[in-house]
Structure 1
Amino acid sequence: MTAAAKEPTEPKGPKEPRVRPVRRLSALRVSMAIAMVAALAGGGYVGLNWWQSAQATEDYDAWFAGYADVTATPTFNFESTTSDAARDVVLSFIVADETDPCLPTWGTAYDLDEAAETLDLDRRLALQSQRGGQIAISFGGLLNDELATVCKDHDKLVDAYADVVKRYDISTIDLDIEAGNLSDSKSGVRRAKAISELQEKRRDGGDDLAVWLTLPVAPSGITEDGATAVTQMLKAGVDLAGVNVMTMDYGSSRPDGDSQAAASIEALTSAHRQLRGLYARADIDLTDATVWTKLGATPMAGQNDVPAEVFSLADARALNAFAVEKKLGRMSMWSLNRDKTCGSNYVDLKRVSDSCSGIDQGDETFADLLSVGLAGRMNESASHVTASETDKITAIVDDPETSPYPIWSSKASYLKGTKIVWHRSVYEAKWWTRGELPDDPVLNEWETPWTLIGPVLPGEKPIEPTTLPAGTYPDWDGTLVYEQGNRVLFNGIAFESKWWNQGESPAAVSGDPDSSPWTPLTDQEIAEILDAAPATP
């Protein structure tokens, strides 16, 4: 993250082989109207309360902390803020020295001692702590070499990270990996091994170390290199606190007409699917709710590096509402330095400033808007340890009495447009499918035939199929021969014959819609029939 422009890359998903095969079950159920016929025959499951069984880990409160650029000019006095929203900060960026690759520096300008002397950083941090503030340190960024990119000695690399953690007495670190730092796969392996060792040593000594991985994102999700970075961390044994995505600078990847908030929500939704899949491939099963707590969002206040993109105050409200609804684990912003209206002497607002947002904020700040409802603190959440939730996931049993659509079955196929319920969520088939689990963790949207519509809501009941008045079509008769295109009623539900048949009951369509000669009329066809029917006197 910086005021320098970056080109978004379209996510593709990792190329390396999967750690384990994706779990799949066989066959699915049928379209909504078809399966409702089967529902007449009864059957059921023992239901559990979704809101209890799929909750995220308890006592894991989301936190807000904006980034503060330590070396930007003019100097930002993060320690003197009077805003509760800006009391916690993510200080950026620690990078490698230009001549000593294993020496941590602030933006290559100051080593840790020089920052204490020239910037009075240690004293300012002490004051910030006295006033109740907390800090995390961010390594990397766009413009310079993150330590692991150039420091190739494992022990020296671990020591470099440890020196920063010890110097500033922090429990949360942020790895902002982008550009060349992200595409360098070998440095990613070094970074993951060093962070894993550091985290293990800290925890063995009774100290917390939460590790956040900050990555670029597009509306379609994190990039291929980003997915690789997550995989490297998990493979090395790093317990990631989460993945923080930079919801900014989308460029051509942002759909035409989408606001920055809409594009960011789409990006977070895609990243959620990807992160769940990456954890599953690492043999760590997490509920959807827990995966949301392991996601963070960092928008760029006001004018973004891409001239056509402006993150407005309205966007901040919308993104915050989404974060609170989904219970994201973290919200940040780039940057606290920029969280104010530019002065009258700053004329070209499309040129990104390090010290103002480029829009008229009035009396409002992005920090205040983005932090609403996020009352947690980073130090308190740093003690959280990730644990697989396989038992919690398998305990979710759907109840047909509280499901608006039929429950997914392993003994049926599904047609395009079919809606089903699985693990207390509603899914819709994008195309004909058989044997594809609705919540199978995948990295890319095109890998699954299912679209997640949303959760089953409290108080929902099965949606009854639309029936047509008696006499609209003849009732089905097993003794008659039906030609292609003939229509009948079966228990009031309209079906159309796909080919010549005799004695083939429409009821069988719910179990095997492919082999059945009958198909139910679509909602649109039924609506047209009802619209065309004469009014009842």
Structure 2
Amino acid sequence: MSTVVAALAAAAVAVGAAVAPFLPADVAGANEHRWFAGYYDVTLEDGEKLARSNLADGDGGVVLAFVVAADDDDCTPTWGKVYGLDDAAGRFELDRRVARLIGEGRPVAVSFGGAVNTELAVACTDTAALTGAYRDVVDRYGVDTIDLDIEGDTLSDTAASRRRAEAIATLQRERADDDRGLAVWLTLPVAPDGLTSEGLALVEDMLDAGVKIAGVNAMTMNYGDGGTASLIDLSTGALDATAAQLRETWAARDLALPADGVWSMIGATPMIGRNDVPGEVFSTDDARALNAFAAERGMARLSMWSINRDRTCGSNYVYTGVVSNECSGVEQAGEKFADLLAEGYVPTATATAAPRTPTIADDPATSPYPLWTSTSYYSAGVTVVWNGSVYISKWWNEDGPAPDDPGLDLDASAWTYLGPVLATDRPFTLPTLPDGTYPDWDPAALYDQGDRVMWEGTGYEARWWSQGKRPDRSVLDRDYSPWKMLTEP
């Protein structure tokens, strides 16, 4: 996707989800329904945003971006080299939040590649290892749709293109044998006259390897025009040209297009607001126009780069000429690009919504977090389990409504729903230290700041003077407890 935005994101700073996937009727029939899903830059997560996360906000779905290799010659899949898959599960509950989206019947795709870092097919020189890397990601998140975002120097790597095509074809066959579909979208850069020659060659490599392509998603952004022409005119022209190229490519191979024609396998992804090329700006009016064009042509998919950027920049952001990862760079006047692009493209991409993951009964011995009670004190950022679901506190609270109270709207509730308890969750435990590391806590003793004690095997350090205040209250109440938990001596 955007080179500048992705490069900035890359510089920013496990639990497998056994969930019912969001399944198309089959790969060929998956284009019978139009869908919207914005890209979400996973590398911008830091764990502190969970209570106000926008991953599940709004309508439509999410394309999670970008899975890349851990290093130039390391075939391990990571999120932008910033987080391993287990890191993403532990730090900001990605597995659980994906399970929530799938359970709600929302389109969810994982995008491999992007503008920076090393795409898996480049790092994985062994095709079997590459297939395994793709498989690990698809199986972990339970998705039935993948997005291959191939751009920059990776587009010209013909050996990687052949490995990628062979690996994806193998994975599709495996899943077909297990009665599971895998919809494959190719996200490629376009010029005003359509796909580049390298992008078209990648499409051909995929077809020649036997990959069933669900669609081609054009990156309608960064044309290099500098704003001398209308961005929406450039984009619609590029899409018309792409449609003509795909017709010719399918015809040259005697392949049948979907019953609804070539437009039912075409998508578009604008870069909302300020693009990387100075002078090129995609406005909210452009979003309306692109949506109208897509509806008229019967396009299968609309996306955007990115969900993270879908808001007006704050008044403290003074670098108005610099593209931001976390705001659009244009005045949105309270509108959301996602809402404008999603009009007519919601609900979902495929035939039926997945059934909700079965609820796992609350059990303090097996739950991944403490069970919620009305008698405990909870600081902002504390995570709990209630009725088979995981919630995180938005502010300090106690003796309030249950996290799933149906009488409260999202803004009024002290809790944010993250997702279901998963069958693969590990039980919640406190960190322990060796016996005798510190003296046992004594309710009669006076403790000063910096004193350290043990309580039921866990170490604590005094934050201020106290007497008779049990240290373990600090597990849930980090604001008012005079103790903080220690994770190492």
From the superposition, tell whether residues 381 and 93 of structure 1 become closer, same or farther in structure 2 (CA, over 3 Å): farther
The CA distance in 2 between the partners of 1:364 and 1:109, in whole Å, is: 31
Report 1 or 2 for greater relative contact order, CA contacts < 8 Å, sequence distance ≥ 6: 1
Alignment of 1:327 with 2:294, yes or no, is no
Q: Is the 8 A contact 1:79 1:124 kept in 2?
A: no
TM-score by length of 2: 0.64
- The residue number in structure 2 matching 1:124 is 97
Write the distance in 2 (CA, Å) between the matches of 1:224 and 1:99: 25
Please list every run of 5 or more consecutive structure 2 residues that lacks an aligned counterpart in the other structure.
7-27, 355-489
- Label 1:132 to 1:61 Cα distance change in 2 as closer, same or farther (>3 A): closer
Give the whole-Å Cα distance in 2 for the aligned partners of 1:194 and 1:101: 17
Partner Cα separation in structure 2 for residue 122 and residue 224 of structure 1: 37
1:348 Cα deviation (Å)? 2.0
Aligned to 1:495: none
Q: Alpha-carbon deviations, 1:331-389, whole Å to 9, x = none? A: 00000000000000111222000000001101110000001111352353899xxxxxx
Larger Rg: 1
Q: Does the Cα contact within 8 Å between 2:188 and 2:195 map onto a contact in 1?
A: yes
* Structure 2 counterpart of 1:356, one-letter code: C
2:165 corresponds to which residue? 192
Residues 160-192 of structure 1: per-residue CA shift (max 9 Å, x gap): 100000000000000000011111011000000
Task: Write the distance in 2 (CA, Å) between the matches of 1:218 and 1:248.
Answer: 9
**Other-structure match for 1:274:** 245
For normalisation by structure 1, the TM-score amounts to: 0.58
1:67 and 1:336 in contact (8 A); partners too:
yes
Q: Do 2:109 and 2:144's aligned partners in 1 also have CA atoms closer than 8 Å?
A: yes
Match of 2:220 in 1: 247
Q: Aligned match of 2:267 in 274, 289, 296?
A: 296
Match of 2:40 among 59, 68, 86: 68
Amino acid across the alignment from 2:41: D
Indicate which of 75, 80, 88 corresponds to 2:61.
88
SS in 2 for 1:322: helix
- Say whether the 8 Å CA contact 1:241–1:382 is kept in structure 2: no
Once the two structures are superposed, the pairs formed by residues 256-275 of structure 1 within 5 Å of their partners are 257-275=228-246
Which structure is higher in strand share?
A: 2
Establish whether residue 211 from structure 1 lines up as the match of residue 209 from structure 2.
no
Equivalent residue letter for 1:361: Q
Match 1:353 to one of 324, 335, 342: 324
Distance (Å, rounded) in 1 between the aligned partners of 2:164 and 2:55: 34
User: Structure 1 residue 102: deviation in Å?
Assistant: 1.6
Equivalent residue pairs, number: 331
Out of 196, 208, 216, which is 1:235 matched to? 208
Q: CA deviation at 1:93?
A: 0.3
Structure 1 residue 338 corresponds to structure 2 residue 338: no
Give RMSD over aligned pairs: 2.5
Q: Which residue identity lines up with residue 63 of structure 1 in the other structure?
A: W
Q: Larger deviation: 142-151 or 282-291?
A: 282-291
3-state DSSP of counterpart to 2:312: coil
- Matched with 2:106 is 133
Please state how far the C-alpha of 1:199 moved relative to its aligned partner.
0.5
2:196 aligned with 1:223: yes
- Partners of 2:353 and 2:69 lie apart in 1 by 25
Q: Which amino acid aligns with 1:64?
A: F
Aligned-pair identity in percent equals 50
Matched, 1:2 2:2: yes
Deviation at 1:205, TM superposition (A): 0.7
Counterparts of 1:288 and 1:263 in 2: how far apart (Å)? Answer: 28
AA matched with 2:222: D
Q: Per-residue displacement from partner, 1:35-65 (whole Å, max 9, x unpaired)?
A: xxxxxxxxxxxxxxxxxxxxx9798011000
Q: Report the Cα offset of residue 91 of structure 1.
A: 0.2
State how far apart, in whole Å, the 2-side matches of 1:232 and 1:118 are. 38
Task: Give the equivalent residue in structure 1 for 2:348.
Answer: 377
Partners of 2:57 and 2:266 lie apart in 1 by: 25
